[in-house]
Amino acid sequence: MTVRYAELHALSNFTFLRGASHPEELVETAAALGYEALAITDECSMSGIVRAHAAAKETGLKKLIIGSELRLRSGRKLVALVQNKGGYAALCQLISKARRAAEKGSYELTRLDFESGLPGCLVLWIPDRDLRLDVEDHWIRETFRDRLWIAVELMADGRQREQLERLREEGRRLKLPLVASGDVHMHIRARRILQDAVTAIRLRTTVDKAGFALHSNGERHLRSLAVLAHAYPAELLEESARIADTLHFSLHELRYEYPNELVPAGETAGTYLRKLTEEGMRRRWPGGVPAKVIALVEHELKLIADLEYESYFLTVEDIVSFARAKNILCQGRGSAANSAVCFCLGITEVDPGRMAVLVERFISKERNEPPDIDVDFEHERREEVIQYIYGKYGRERAALAATVITYRPRSALRDVGKVLGLSDLQISRLSRSMQWWDGRTVDDSRILEAGLNPDSPVIRRLLYLVREIIGFPRHLSQHVGGFVICNAPLHELVPVENATMPDRTVIQWEKDDLEEMGLLKVDVLGLGMLTAIRRSFDLIRDFDGRDYSLASVPAEDPRVYDMICAGDTMGVFQIESRAQMAMLPRLKPRCYYDLVIEVAIIRPGPIQGDMVHPYLRRRNGEEAVDYPSEEVKGVLQRTLGVPIFQEQVMQLAVVAAGFTPGEADRLRRAMAAWKRRGGLGPFEDKLISGMRERGYAEEFARQIFRQIEGFGEYGFPESHSASFALLVYVSCWLKCHTPAAFTCALLNSQPMGFYSASQLVQDLRRHGVEVRAVDVNVSSWDCSLEAGEGGAPVLRLGLRMVKGLSENAGQRIVAEREKGRYATVQGLMERAQLDRRDLGVLATSGALQALSGDRHKARWAVAGTEKPVPLFRGVEHYEAAPLLKKPTEGQNIVADYQSTGLTLERHPMCLLRRHLDRYHYMAAGQLPDMSNGQRINVAGLVITKQRPGTASGVTFVTLEDESGYINLIVWRKVAEEFRSELLNARLLGIAGELQIEGRVIHVIAQRLFDHSEMLGELSVSSRDFR
Amino acid sequence: MIVEEQHGIHRVLLADAAARAAGVMAGLSANAALALLPTLKLEERNPVREQQVLERLASWLERFSSFVSIADRNLLLLEIAGSLNLFGGLQSLRQTIVRDLGMLGFSAAVAIAPTPLAATWLARSGRRICIRATENLGPALRRLPLTCLHWPSGQRELLTGMGITAIGDCLRLPREGFARRFGAERLLDLDRALGHLPDPRDSWRAPERFCADYEMTEEQSDRELLLNICRELLLSHEQFLLARQLGTQSLCFSFFHLKSTATELRLGAALADRSASRWFELLKIRFEALRLPEPVIAVRLRSGLSQPLLAETARLSFSHKAEKQKHRYSIAQLAERLVARIGDHSVHALTMVAEHRPEYAWCARNPLSDWTASTLTMLTDTRRPLWMLPEPALLPADSGYPLHRGCRLTLLDGPERLETGWWDEGNVSRDYYTALSGAGMRLWVFRNRQRTPDWYLHGIFG
């Protein structure tokens, strides 16, 4: 007789730091071994089951059983196996309850939690090591009665015969059947090493000290049927298969239902959505709706109705209306967000007319992919929106999606290093010298550099384990903003657990799981630029009464595009990075769609896929645009034949390689994950053979595949780009026409964006706007606009810029000032109820200038203030004037930087120039007059250092001097030779070669010099800078 | 390079020339330093040892002055006015101290001034200066930066923020305003340094150690007599320690001879003690085995580091705890006696180790260390023979079955599979069985699962 076996007790690595195999690995192995079924029974968790479910479909595993291992506070261990849908809901509810009752990451169960009897589940009783099934555990038998088995798990520990006899006896005594199970922790024996390591990580010890917490052997893997037949009596194996035969639940059966309270009585979701859309349409086109739009909306509404997505759109609309009512700026993005319906509903401000190319590629029936709408809100007010959702649907029905935090090279190195007994110092040394390590290949030199021997066994073990553990889930965290909202309580669908933040709950599934399960989520995200834009609108309105909104900012203003083409985009949305700025003069965007491309093209995906230069050449007419076929032309025409967007890649796979839309969607997901998991292989064959069959040249096919590979996880969807482009345009318009208001809003929204307050303010001053210093007698808490000469707006720095001053103290200063200006420091202290510390930071910022003079005097005055005594309130304390030196300009600059992060004095480089002249350093402003290839020396303050993963070891450094910015390229070889300078210098000198390409100037560094000690002189050695 | 932990971050305290050349400076975090010079060797700062060194130096300096004071972690004050004549004047005394310190391997920044604070500040500033008259203090101190004063860093920052960086800047400020802002104590510091106020200090005293000699008028080789002398020394040692409420864990007897170098005998105890009778018990055991090359002319007893010891009062209670305590005491004494008799290297204590591999499941330990600290963990349900072979012995095999003394073994129970220990050089992968030999012995054997599937004998059940 052939052996039949179903593994009913298996942990995946979603039982964090116990299981040592991915759910996919377990499923694949169980299928290959010919098991009747495999149960994934992660400890009090359903986090791994969706992946297992997907893998089971793919590998043809005969049956996947859902279950969970549960340990009670008393120490008893049970495995619950889901029999039917009701059982699944009951188990999810039990897990939710256990998880919510305990700290994040743990759970708490007692026998009381089983009073309902867990209907719809079968239960395995896992005996303790002492093999006793106690009288006190009678409740287990009473509760589960004929749904209870005693699990016999024989692990070749030398006691197997005794164990079997003993359990048989117990079975007879308690009248319970026995079944074989494997206590599986890994898919193959070889993982025992990793299993030992994760055990030690979990117990915060080292492997050699973990002792009996480690398993004595590697039997806890999926054993072959032959081995099992040898180890277990046949009837116990058969019993497992028999149990599996009675379990019929599959995740397929879960049905997600939208919340239905949004639809008023007497309406259906469909009629109500139509009503809201039509209302919106009239609002958007008060002068009459164009026929084209009406047709489009009709088309979309039909599609939405066919796919039954009405409730989803209504849900998003409801959230957005709440935000609008609260004057919180928001903007939707994603595949469905750019539809005409969403424009009518106010979910997006991108006019479909402006985006004629886009609307067709909105949700499609064939792709059967859920619509995806992410909504960005002002980052400082997103919490209000989240609380609204919780309030409206209750915590029972709304929760955040989880993000599974997995091991990255760095965290892997740290945790594995610890359990192998490396010291903290050695580990930080290693992770430092392997900063940019991808977790796969390692240079011996890197190990040597960390003072360790690459050939030593410890290091070999370390690297082996690190490679194995990378990608392993470590714990659940909350998704940035993905909400799942449900009509019925969520815990019937998936367990809910506590998040780190108080009062936050997350479900046990992450984004990919939701997608796989067809669950809809609404991403409620925070975006700093929206805050800045709203503040700009407010500032403009308050200053001169002009009223703007996202929709009413004048479209397609050529002056805005002129500014963008000049690369003058510091502070704006998305196109402000150094790489973007360098690209703008070459790309020369002149219309909205150019911005859409611009947002998507300067990203790691297109850069690695080598799409940037072909696109540039074609755009500049240096290269012919040709298409291998009409179909391809249809897909790529808008981007001149170069695939730039994620959607284009998928469409190419469909039109040129014959993929079904479903396959294309799987390709998209594989693209996102192939770097971590591998697995583009099958797609490669299919893509290339598919294209060959359709008559495309092999070379073209290979090129497309390379581009797909390059895209990797960074492919940017056009649907997001389109929404972002609107914010790009609006922020550019604000920068171009109202620079003072825009910079002011940016400063008030810090921290955000790419640039520091200092850079933003310098940029503003270069654009001819006056900036005034912080002053306790003038400044508000926020930076604000004042009318300057001729009524032009002037930026006044706010008290918020003063480092160390609390907002409360700042607001008191402003409120008390209503009653009259401050005359003395003591008066300020008493009236605004400040303490010495508050006054100290104000003195350092220079905000007391008007009260007491220079910083030295201000500090003396502050130190002399005294806590007001009621009797002597207002009585000035007269004392002899001290003999204090005046602060030097250098000292003032240093204090400015310390306190507000910026200075309105001269640039520090001005003061140092005399010293720097010895080295023949040129100023940034002189560089455009030089010629390409010339050898030059430059120096400046180090503003940014970037080492993008895509740029093969190049470090980009930006220096700042009094005349502007210098962009450095430091090749890897130079970076290593001048490691210390590159890492430490705050004032960096460079000998290098100039590279000028049009308006783009780079310096290729050849030698680096650290002049940071000169900065010290600024404050210390006053003689030099008097 | 020496590093010190501050708020959880290791920071560089001292770096050698090579490290400094690579840009490593004091105050840098250890990580940053490693980034600069990955091959750095790091050493944790040991404040206890530093203090010991300083105390040793203080004792040593007592030869130059009757008044030595430890003023800071790295600062010693000497009152030298009284020693000038003895050492031939100021310059000569200073040179002698610096030279002798140099010979001991220390470099010192030496400053001489009429007030202790002035000398301290000047020394910290690194100025090799010598001020004899109080009226010259003012001009000398004015230029000193405030960093030499080791005032609280908050106050120093405040002063710097007002542009006040030197002592002279402080002296220019209105006294009342200065005191109001920085406290009277700072003003007093300045006054003491300038000699306007007295500044008394405590003198350093070395901790006491017992050391006594018994000199004989003629050489003796009568061992009984020598033992009696030793007992007398132990009795006065006991008196000495008793008076100071001290005890010690080690003693050293030196037996001096006329021609040969002295014979030394060291004694150690598991618990600090001062009882002459107990020490004498230990001594007697060791003395028996002691070989004296020639007769003895003098005996010296020196005690090791002493530690506080409270006299034990006899208790009337017979609580369980007290019993346990007593039990522990007697085992400790047994261990001492054994060590005293057969030497440190021959006496071990055994401890269980939580470890699956049988050969690693126990280890030896120093019997004099606190043996109760380790708790025994053991899986009680695994079967292990009491008699383990030091090394597994290869068994011949016959068609896959192990042979013992020519007979095929009958496998009774098993396998117990052990696959573990990959983290050190003792990786094992074995199937253990209980086997019955032809002679009726129950053996513990295993088959190797790595490389060749050989059989080994690992233990014998009783």
Chain A residues in contact with B152 by the CB 8 A cut-off are none
CB A788 within 8 A of CB A794: yes
Compute the average pLDDT of residues A352-372. 58
Q: Are A657 and A694 in contact (CB under 8 A)?
A: yes
Confidence band, pLDDT 50/70/90 cuts, at residue A713: low
Model's pTM, two decimal places?
0.74
- The minimum CA-CA distance between A216 and chain B, rounded to whole Å, is 5
Nearest CA in chain B to A843: B161
Q: Does position A1023 have pLDDT exceeding 80, yes or no?
A: no
For residue A967, which phi and psi values (nearest 5 degrees)?
-100, 120
Q: What's the ipTM?
A: 0.73
User: How confident is the model over A731-761, as pLDDT tens digits?
Assistant: 999 999 999 999 999 999 988 877 889 989 9
Query: What's the sign of the alpha-carbon dihedral A974, A976, A982, A988?
Result: negative
Name residues whose C-beta falls within 8 Å of residue A465's C-beta, 6 or more positions apart in sequence. A193, A194, A197, A412, A416, A420
Token pair belonging to B385: 């023979």
What's the distance, Cα to Cα, between the start and end of chain A in Å? 99
Tell me the pLDDT tens digit for each residue of A395-437. 888 889 999 998 988 888 899 999 998 887 778 878 776 665 5
**Cα→Cα distances B82→A843, B66, B79, B88, B389, Å:** 51, 8, 7, 11, 74
The answer on pLDDT for A919 being more than 70 is yes
Report pLDDT for A563. Answer: 95
Do A844 and B34 lie within an 8 Å CB cutoff? no
Maximum Cα interatomic distance, chain A, rounded to a whole number of Å: 108
Contact A761, A900 (CB under 8 A): no
Edge-first strand order for the sheet with A64-71 is A6-7, A37-40, A64-71, A77-82, A121-126, A148-152, A178-180
Give tens-digit pLDDT for A77-136.
999 999 999 999 999 999 999 998 998 889 999 989 998 889 999 999 998 877 776 766
Does the pLDDT at position A1024 exceed 50?
no
pLDDT in tens, A502-511: 777 889 998 8
CA-nearest residue of chain B to A430?
B38
- Per-residue confidence (pLDDT) for residue B318, from 0 to 100: 46
d(CA A518, CA A486): 12
Reported as a single tens digit per residue, the pLDDT across A6-49 is 999 999 999 999 999 999 999 999 999 999 999 999 999 999 99
Instruction: State the average pLDDT for chain A.
Output: 86
Q: How many CB pairs under 8 A join A and B?
A: 138
Q: Do the bridges between strand A398-406 and strand A473-485 make them parallel or antiparallel, or are there none, so unpaired?
A: antiparallel
pLDDT of residue A443 exceeding 80? no
| Res. A1022: pLDDT tops 50 | no
Is the pLDDT at A330 greater than 50? The verdict is yes
A193 vs chain B: nearest CA distance in angstroms? 7
Q: How far apart are the first and last CA of chain B?
A: 57
Tokens of A513: 């799981």
What's the CA gap between A596 and A582, in Å, rounded? 17
Cβ atoms of A600 and A594 closer than 8 Å: no
CATH 3.40.50.2000 fits B211-308, yes or no: no
- Option in A156, A855, A880 nearest B417 (CB): A156
Average pLDDT over residues A673-694: 73
- Picking from A406, A666, A653, the residue whose alpha carbon sits closest to that of residue A516 is A666
pLDDT at A873: 56
What is the per-residue pLDDT across B409-462, written as a single tens digit (0 to 9) for each? 888 887 899 999 998 888 899 999 999 888 888 899 999 988 788 999 998 887
Contact A987, A1005 (CB under 8 A): no
Which pLDDT does position B41 carry in this prediction?
74
Give the residue from chain B lying closest to A854, CA to CA. B162
Please check whether residue B422 is in contact with residue B415, taking contact to mean a CB–CB distance below 8 angstroms: no
- Indicate the pairing of strand B455-460 with strand B387-395: antiparallel
Tokens of B116: 């202790």
Smallest Cβ distance to A214: which of B10, B381, B420?
A: B420
| Residues from chain A contacting residue B385 (CB–CB below 8 Å) | none
Tell me which of A165-169, A617-621, A1015-1019, B76-80 is least confident: A1015-1019
Note the pLDDT of residue A1019.
54
> CA-to-CA distance for A865 and A835, rounded, in angstroms?
9
User: CB burial class (10 A; 0-12, 13-18, 19+) of residue A751?
Assistant: exposed
Residue B100 CB coordination number (10 Å): 14
Phi/psi region, residue B322 (left: phi>0; alpha: psi -120 to 50; beta: rest), is alpha
Q: Which residue has the higher pLDDT, B145 or A998?
A: B145
Query: Would you say residue A359 has pLDDT above 50?
Result: no
CA nearest A218 in B: which residue? B419
Contact B415 A884 (CB under 8 A): no
Residue A591 has pLDDT above 70, yes or no: yes
Which of B34, B413, B448, B449 has the highest number of chain A CBs within 10 A, making it the mutation to test binding with A? Answer: B34
* Range from A343-352, A662-671, B191-200 carrying the lowest mean pLDDT: A662-671
Question: In chain B, what residues touch A216 (CB-CB under 8 Å)?
Answer: 356, 416-420
pLDDT tens-digit profile of A557-575? Answer: 999 999 999 888 999 998 8
Instruction: Tell me how close the Cα of B180 comes to any Cα of chain A, in angstroms.
Output: 7
Query: In chain A, what residues touch B431 (CB-CB under 8 Å)?
Result: 156
pLDDT in tens, A235-286: 999 999 999 999 999 998 887 778 888 888 888 989 999 999 999 999 888 8
Q: Is the pLDDT of residue A69 over 90?
A: yes
Task: Count CB atoms within 10 A of the CB of residue A43.
Answer: 18
The CATH number assigned to the domain with range B2-45 reads 3.40.1170
List beta partners, residue A497: A506
3-state secondary structure of A801: helix
Ranges of chain B whose pLDDT falls below 70: 1, 5-9, 23, 31-32, 34-36, 38, 206-207, 309-333, 337, 340-345, 366-382
With bands split at pLDDT 50, 70 and 90, how would you rate the model's confidence at A234? very high
- Here the tokens at position B371 are 């043996």
Q: Which residues of B touch A863 (CB under 8 A)?
A: 158, 162, 181-182
What whole-number distance in Å separates Cα of residue A196 and Cα of residue B57?
Answer: 52
pLDDT tier at A151 (50, 70, 90 boundaries)? very high
Q: Chain B residue closest to A216 (CA)?
A: B418
pLDDT of residue A147: 94
pLDDT reported for residue B9: 63
Q: Quick one: closest CA in B to A977, which residue?
A: B36
Beta carbons within 8 Å of B200's beta carbon, 6+ residues apart:
none
Please answer yes or no on whether A879 and B163 come within 8 Å at the CB atom: no
CA distance A776 to A627: 65
Quick count: other Cβ atoms within 10 Å of Cβ A986?
Answer: 13
Gap from A856 CA to chain B (nearest CA, Å) = 4
Residue A672 has pLDDT above 70, yes or no: no
Closest CA to A688 of A700, A672, A671: A700
Mutate to test the interface with A, among B419, B434, B444, B458 (most CBs of A within 10 A): B419
pLDDT of the residue at B312: 52
Percentage of residues in chain A having pLDDT higher than 90: 39
Residue A1025's pLDDT is: 29
* Burial track A606-622 (b if 16+ CB lie within 10 A, e otherwise): bbbbebbeebbbbbeee
